[in-house]
Chain A
Amino acid sequence: MRNLVRFVQKYHFVLLFLLLESLCVYLLSNSHSYHRAALINTSNALTGEVYQTKSNITGYFSLGFHNDLLALENAQLHDRIAELEEMVDSTSHQSDHVHFRHIPAKVISNTVHFRNNYILINKGRLDGVKPDMGIISPDGVAGIVTGVSDHYATALSLLHRYARISVMFRKSGQLANLTWTGENYRYGLVEDIPAHLKIVEGDTVVTSGHSLIFPEGIMVGTIKEYIEPAGSSLNKAILNMSTDFNMLRQVYVVFNSDQQEIDQLRKANIHE
């Protein structure tokens, strides 16, 4: 026993180092999966407050630019309203579409240059934000909510090792998956493309709506370069992402208003 005490006294520096370092590696490896990433709660009061203050200050510098963007988006929305009104007039019956709602939010912290990037937004549980809701920008898909506190929420950016969303080619309706390889924040990688599908540079890729996180048909990007297949039946292509992650500010949290019902159905399936 006395030897043990002496051993600990003698090597306390190395022992403490090993202890702390293994704690860090444990924390780190735990954060390396999609669902556990949700546990990291940046969305806690202190950091939220600090980033909100900073965002309040820096927000002024780009006001003009973002006003223009918003005005543009407004215009597009008006167009859409007009189109939809026409459709409503011509068809009187209820559409069978899935119902999605939008919560406007502001990005208060966001990175693009790490291997795994997160977005922090200023809407939280009290505003109705819940994990697994989608985040879209006016230009396209941006991320998926993983952790929420009362007034803030963290989201996995598409620029993350574990961000993987189901997409489809607008022209052909063929499904594929989108991931990010970590090199350039402007480009994503479309995987699992059926080999028979002819892809042309500039083809538009949109969300498939299969995951129910994002509505169908939200812009994701355009094909930049097709990667020649190497013997596999599933091909890849480089995607020019439509969202500029480096200047993400105004975003919308989208959620399916029928989510509870769908979850209950899924749970019922599991129990049987």
Chain B
Amino acid sequence: MNKYFLYTARFALLLLFQVLILNNVLIGGYINPFIYVLFIMLLPFNIRPWLLLIIGFLLGYTVDIFSSTSGLHAGATVLMAFVRPTIVRLTTGARDPEGSLNPGISDMGARWFFTYSIVMVLIHHTALFFLEVFSFTQLPSTLLRILLSTLFSELLIMMIMLFFGKNRR
């Protein structure tokens, strides 16, 4: 019960932060940070893979509704949810994380979380910006947007984790 409340609250807070504040942020013409994906990253290790996909779709689609887009954020987030188990396996090496651990800084360490999250953010942003442009014609500017936005989102995500991450246990 308590756990579900935590996840619901986190979902709502990240969503509102994204659509009310970050969707209006544009730095230097290229940087749009998207941090709502943090929700997918923080779901427990032992979550059922199919549930991960469904949650990814719901989260992405909710952001879509608020951004007047259709299927854009949903597509990128579903892809990210799909690769999450692989990324977890690759970043944790041979040892499989125990069911009781959560993919946060307090359980796994800041260094692990940084690697894990930047790969996830990069995958999400790459899918997102390419889906948005829907062509490869503006390749250099799209790549620049992906790179800069990924770095900025990652910065925000690490800040959020360092501020709030410890208290969660």
Which residues does A use to contact B, with CB under 8 Å? 12-13, 16-17, 20-21, 23-32, 40, 42, 44, 46-47, 50, 54, 109, 111-116, 118, 120, 154, 182-184
Given A20-B57, A42-B68, A113-B32, are A13 and B49 neighbors across the interface (CB < 8 Å)?
A: yes
Q: Which A residues are CB-close (under 8 A) to B56? A: 20
- Asked if B57 contacts A113 (CB within 8 A), the reply is no
- Asked if A16 contacts B50 (CB within 8 A), the reply is yes
Bound complex: CA of A46 vs CA of B20, how far in Å? 14
Instruction: List the 6 closest pairs (A to B, CB-CB), nearest first.
Output: A27-B71, A24-B75, A28-B71, A118-B68, A31-B70, A24-B71
**Chain B interface SS verdict (over half):** helix
Given A42-B65, A47-B65, A182-B138, are A27 and B70 neighbors across the interface (CB < 8 Å)?
A: yes
Q: Which A residues are CB-close (under 8 A) to B49? A: 13
Q: Which B residues are CB-close (under 8 A) to A13? A: 49-50, 53, 82
- Asked if B57 contacts A28 (CB within 8 A), the reply is no
B121 at interface, CB cutoff 8 A: no
Known: A21-B78, A28-B75, A184-B29. 7 other contacts (CB 8 A): A12-B50, A13-B49, A20-B53, A24-B74, A44-B65, A113-B29, A116-B132
Interface centre among A16, A24, A26, A28 (most CB of B within 10 A): A24
Which residues does B use to contact A, with CB under 8 Å? 16, 19-20, 23-24, 26, 29, 32, 49-50, 53-54, 56-57, 60, 65-72, 74-75, 78-79, 82, 131-134, 138, 141
Measured between C-beta atoms, what is the minimum distance from A116 to chain B in Å? 8
- Asked if A28 contacts B131 (CB within 8 A), the reply is yes
Bound complex: CA of A108 vs CA of B24, how far in Å? 12
- Asked if B69 contacts A31 (CB within 8 A), the reply is yes
Contact of B66 among A20, A47, A183 (CB under 8 A): A47
- Asked if A17 contacts B53 (CB within 8 A), the reply is yes
